[in-house]
Amino acid sequence: MRIIGFFGKGGTGKTTLTALVLRELVKRRMGEILVVDADPNECLASVLGVDRPSRLSDMLLKYKRQREQSPELTGIDIFQNLFDTLLVEGEHEGYDMLVMGRGEGTGCYCAVNSLLLSVFAKTIDDEHYDYLLMDCEAGVEHIARKTSAEINDAVIVTDASKVSLDTLERIKAVASEVSARIETYYVVANRCRPDMLSRVEETAERLGFRYLGALPDDPNLAEIAYEGKTVFDLPEDSPAVQAVEKFLDAYN
Looking up residue 109, the CATH number of its domain turns out to be: 3.40.50.300
Calculated CA dihedral for residues 230, 187, 90, 115, nearest 10 degrees: -150
Position 88 scores a pLDDT of 46
Residue 200's pLDDT is 96
pLDDT at 114 over 70: no
Phi-psi region of 109 (alpha: psi -120 to 50; beta: other; left: phi over 0): alpha
Rounded to whole angstroms, the Cα distance separating 3 from 36 reads 11
Q: Using CA atoms, how far apart are residues 83 and 66, in angstroms rounded to an integer?
A: 13
Please give the residue that has the higher pLDDT: either 240 or 46: 240
pLDDT band at 227 (very low <50, low <70, confident <90, very high): confident
Position 125 scores a pLDDT of: 58
pLDDT at 106: 46
| Helices 75-89 + 56-69 axis angle, to 10 | 140
Residue 63 has pLDDT above 70, yes or no: no
Q: What is the mean pLDDT of residues 108-121?
A: 58
Q: In this predicted structure, what is the pLDDT of residue 186?
A: 95
| Distance (Å, whole) CA 43 – CA 15 | 7
Q: Which has the minimum average pLDDT: 108-112, 125-129, 156-160?
A: 108-112
**More confident position, 122 or 104:** 122
CB contact set of 52 (below 8 Å; sequence gap of 6+) = none
Q: How many residues does the chain have?
A: 252
Q: Does residue 79 register a pLDDT over 60?
A: no
Predicted confidence at residue 92, as pLDDT, reads 60
Q: Crossing angle for the helix pair 197-207 and 162-177, nearest 10 degrees?
A: 20
Question: Of all residues in the chain, what percent carry a pLDDT higher than 90?
Answer: 33
Domain coverage including residue 247: 2-251
The predicted structure's pLDDT at residue 174 = 82
**CA neighbours closer than 13 Å in the CB half-sphere of residue 73:** 16
Domain count, the chain: 1
What's the whole-number average pLDDT of the chain?
A: 79
Residue 148's pLDDT is 53
